[in-house]
Amino acid sequence: MAIRKGKYTVELTGGVVISCTAGVAGKKESEGPLREFFDKTFADDRMGESSWEKAESALQTAALDILLQKAGVMPSDIDILFAGDLMPQCIASTFALRDFGIQSYGQFGACSTMAQALSVGAVFVESGAAQRAAAVTSSHFCSAERQFRMPIEYGGQRQPTAQWTVTGAGAALLERGGRGVMIKRITPGRITDMKLRDTANMGAAMAPAAADTLLRFFSDTDARPADFDLILTGDLGTVGSRLLNELLLSEGLDISANHSDCGCMIYDISSQDVHAGGSGCGCCASVFCSHIMPKLRDRELKNILFIATGALMSPTSSQQGESIPSIAHLVQISTV
């Protein structure tokens, strides 16, 4: 049974574990510091497909295929799947999952979708609505770039605050376990809008959402930042990470000792020309599934907060002069 903890947080008591994960990534990511951790990398970012959107679907299909293989389960063993991406009408997920025949509910939280899908999936397993649930998300630099920014061929100069959309995907399997890497608490995000309008500075737009969720989590629970081996945001990049720390410090909360950000981890920021770091639904998904999860399984990490952030604007809303509303969903993951 899930228990409300404070005003905003849910404690899961049913022993929902992340039993298996898989992460895949593209060429640039395979040249970065996490290269050895991905289950699969692609040397050609087209993945043999005829469009960038189809290539992104191929990433999600690959992540789910590897997950099924590693976990030793069939698609029919998964009761429900929660998937999402950045494309209009979530087509990367739809076309990736079309042939699996798994029941699914599409999720949209922009770059926060992996934390959202894990949260909703965990509640389904907790309640008994699913024996096994899966969460899958993806992004692709080229499909995102031409949608949100410029045609790739245009070769536009990127601002120093801009983040680089990760070509990658992650997939996770959730089931009742009682022991292992357990989802202990979730704090859903609230839409937060500080009226920032610069779509080349998502980190600044998303940092207040991450701060809001973290402050609500710490207020709801008796936890302190020092209780966690890692407070992992995704994907604020360098600009957003600095702002998050400043915002929290001004509220008396210091997470600097154990804060890391997926967008800062996936690339070598000094040499890979990614400006403020990585972003996209595939960034924190591939970092968590490929890099963080093995550390949890090996008990190198025992208690972490995973806070994925999303910028909820669209090209249309930005063209209409709107600001960038953001959201951040938190998942507490503990090894038991």
Residues 6+ apart with CB under 8 A from 282: 25, 59, 85, 137, 138, 139, 140, 165, 166, 167, 168, 169, 170
Cα-based distances in Å from 304 to 258, 274, 330: 10, 27, 10
Residue 103 or residue 268: which is nearer to its own copies going by CB? 103
User: What minimum distance in Å lies between the beta carbon of 121 and its own copies?
Assistant: 10
Instruction: Give SS3 for 3.
Output: strand
Closest by CA to 114, choosing from 77, 80, 83, 156, is 83
Residue 108 or residue 242: which is nearer to its own copies going by CB? 108
User: What minimum distance in Å lies between the beta carbon of 24 and its own copies?
Assistant: 21
Q: How is residue 289 annotated by DSSP? A: I
Q: How is residue 270 annotated by DSSP? A: T
User: What minimum distance in Å lies between the beta carbon of 149 and its own copies?
Assistant: 14
Closest by CA to 82, choosing from 72, 97, 65, is 97
Residues 6+ apart with CB under 8 A from 270: none
d(CA 259, CA 274): 20
Tokens of 91: 């087509």
Residue 86 or residue 264: which is nearer to its own copies going by CB? 86
Tokens of 148: 């949100």
The residue type of 93 is: S
Residue 30 or residue 116: which is nearer to its own copies going by CB? 116
User: What minimum distance in Å lies between the beta carbon of 272 and its own copies?
Assistant: 27
User: What minimum distance in Å lies between the beta carbon of 137 and its own copies?
Assistant: 12
Residue 211 or residue 230: which is nearer to its own copies going by CB? 211
User: What minimum distance in Å lies between the beta carbon of 7 and its own copies?
Assistant: 8
Closest by CA to 134, choosing from 149, 124, 147, is 124
Residue 116 or residue 245: which is nearer to its own copies going by CB? 116
Residue 279: other Cβ atoms inside 10 A: 34
d(CA 326, CA 336): 32
Tokens of 115: 């934390």
Interacting residues with its own copies (CB under 8 A): 1-4, 7-8, 10, 12, 50-51, 53-54, 76, 79-80, 84, 86-91, 94-95, 97-98, 101-110, 116, 119-120, 123-124, 126-131, 186-191, 193, 312-317, 320, 322, 325, 327, 329
User: What minimum distance in Å lies between the beta carbon of 300 and its own copies?
Assistant: 30
Residue 18 or residue 130: which is nearer to its own copies going by CB? 130
Residue 291 or residue 329: which is nearer to its own copies going by CB? 329
User: What minimum distance in Å lies between the beta carbon of 95 and its own copies?
Assistant: 7
